[in-house]
Amino acid sequence: MSHSVPGPTPARRSVLRGSLAASAALAVGGGVVGGGVVGSSAPALALSGRPRAAWGVQTGDVTASSGLVWVRSDRPARMIVETSASESFRRAHRHHGPLLGPGSDFTGTTALRGLPAGEQIHYRVTLADPADPRRTGEPVVGTFRTAPALRRDGVRFLWSGDIAGQGWGINPDVGGFRAFEEMRRLNPDFFLCSGDTVYADGPLQPSVTLPDGRVWRNLMTPEKAKVAETLAEYRGQFRYNLLDHNVRAFNAQVPSIVQWDDHEVRNNWYPGQILEDARYTEKNVDVLAARASRAFAEYFPVSTLHARGDGLATKGRMHRVVRYGPLLDVFVLDMRSYRNANSPGRQADDTDGILGAEQLAWLKRELSRSRAVWKVLAADMPLGLVVPDGATNIEAIAQGDPGAPLGRELQIAELLRFVKHRRITGTLWLTADVHYTSAQHYAPERAAFQDFAPFWEFVSGPLAAGGFPANALDATFGPERVFVRAPERANVSPMESPQYFGEVDIDGGSGELTVRLRAEGGTVLFSKVLQPGRVGQ
């Protein structure tokens, strides 16, 4: 079954032309040649000419009245953002941003406040020479919609995750990360990136021969040739995806809500872990995570990481709630920073769990306060799918024992019980992580733990990575796999299996929420309509 969808509006087409013209300058540090090596992307400080924003622009954590705009310069520069209701930038409002320098890898984020609700916002970013503000670079333009103030205005967004993983990077032979272009053409209000935004622990090779004899060629950079350990190497991981023209065009048109999972640091990491991995000279994961989180904050516009409003990344938290009008609140969870050590998951008492006690208390409080019709719990890991870590340990929540909750399941049981007894309706779980797409319905009549209201969990990914077979289900919370599409073998390349992303469409009149699981190429694989305010659906 397929659906015709609107393409970008004429205004957005011209926005993208401006963005692509600016980002075409990505001969930064070397030529972008398929299968070749792009030189170091660190800006040289002694450059002639004017500052350039060759890495494009992006926006994040947009609400009805605010948003964050991101840019990277090729040298020290002052960031200036102008916003307007029209492409002509008549009556533009100027927002003075930070000074971009080596301390932030020449990246910067500017907070926009006082925006009109439910409107298309056009913006342009100009970089000025700090020594001579009259010397400015070519403006880079973008656009986004603010969240609606009225319920009658519906909401449509996409979600997925898992980008440049398992050895599959930017392949110019197939047009790069093509799924981003498909998502751009759907013209969503925003994109929820469900983690594994980069694979800092997954070095690329210049070429990989596939089982059928075809050759996959990767665009290479020095940072992608080894596991990331230093701050500079982690920064290079996040820069890599911006080499793709599809990603830059998408970022200029669609704001994002971004969370992280494990591969931003290292596969299956947890706080306090000491590595037994010969590829790493730095064995302390806490040191690696601190470097990775700093690079993450520099390369993504995330509200909790830029709370000071001066564009400098502060020591913030990943978990947050983004309120997107009366129809939707997005609760962005961090199942990585507060978890206990991976184990077989059979503990009868587990206060830390996967969220940590503080984050769980925050989530309960914010869910109770929410007046939105729908409450999306953006999880970076699935609930009832068994995700192993080695032969005996568990990486996610479910540990394969179908009985009463144990280990990290105890914390989820506490949350589900809270949602039921507080009569919180409209909860919906979205995730990626496992590199296939599926729909699970959870119901107490099928479960060992029964003190909860039925709910749905939808999985969609990868976006630009290897595909994997479906994981086993754990019956503790009574999941039923209503739909699944997954490869039959591990690490199937994007040439052999489509990439996946999901779509959520909330109707402004009825409040109905429709979830569509999509495959690269335009096919809608599965669709489910949920009614507002109901349980047991």
Q: What is the pLDDT of residues 160-196, one digit of tens each?
A: 999 999 999 999 999 999 999 999 999 999 999 999 9
- What is the DSSP pairing of strand 479-485 with strand 500-506? unpaired
- What would the mean pLDDT of 112-133 be, rounded to a whole number? 96
Partners of residue 431 on adjacent β-strands = 459
Q: What is the 3-state secondary structure (H, E, C) of 303-318?
A: HHHCCCCCCCCCCCCC
Four-point Cα dihedral 73, 79, 82, 87, nearest 10: -10
pTM of the model: 0.92
Task: List strand residue ranges (DSSP E) for 277-351, in order.
Answer: 320-323, 328-332
306 — pLDDT class (breaks 50, 70, 90): confident
Judged against a pLDDT cut of 80, whether residue 534 lies above it is answered with no
DSSP annotation of 496? T
47 — pLDDT class (breaks 50, 70, 90): low
Cα–Cα dist 144/146, whole Å = 7
Contact (Cβ atoms closer than 8 angstroms) between residue 152 and residue 120: no
> Which of 175-189, 207-221, 302-316, 438-452 is predicted least confidently?
302-316
Judged against a pLDDT cut of 70, whether residue 27 lies above it is answered with no
Task: Tell me what pLDDT residue 536 has.
Answer: 54
**More confidently predicted of 2 and 136:** 136
**Could you give all domains of the chain from N- to C-terminal order, each with its CATH number?**
152-530 (3.60.21.70)
316 — pLDDT class (breaks 50, 70, 90): confident
Is the preceding peptide bond at 462 cis, omega within 30 degrees of 0? yes
- What would the mean pLDDT of 106-129 be, rounded to a whole number? 97
Cα–Cα dist 308/242, whole Å = 26
What is the Rg, in whole angstroms, of the alpha carbon atoms belonging to the chain? 22
Task: Tell me what pLDDT residue 265 has.
Answer: 98
3-state secondary structure of 333: coil
Cα–Cα dist 297/134, whole Å = 30
Question: Which of 205, 235, 212 has its CA nearest to residue 223?
Answer: 235
Task: Tell me what pLDDT residue 43 has.
Answer: 52
Task: Count how many Cα atoms sit within 13 Å of the Cα of residue 426 in the half-sphere of its side chain.
Answer: 21
Judged against a pLDDT cut of 70, whether residue 8 lies above it is answered with no
3-state secondary structure of 128: strand
- What would the mean pLDDT of 104-133 be, rounded to a whole number? 96
- What would the mean pLDDT of 75-101 be, rounded to a whole number? 95
pLDDT in tens, 489-527: 999 999 999 999 999 999 999 999 999 999 999 999 999
Task: Tell me what pLDDT residue 36 has.
Answer: 52
Task: Tell me what pLDDT residue 49 has.
Answer: 83
| Residues in contact with 537: Cβ distance below 8 Å, sequence separation at least 6, in sequence order | 454, 456, 530, 531
2 — pLDDT class (breaks 50, 70, 90): very low
Tokens 């019956």: give the residue. Answer: 475
Contact (Cβ atoms closer than 8 angstroms) between residue 26 and residue 35: no
- What would the mean pLDDT of 468-481 be, rounded to a whole number? 98
Cα–Cα dist 419/441, whole Å = 16
3-state secondary structure of 236: helix
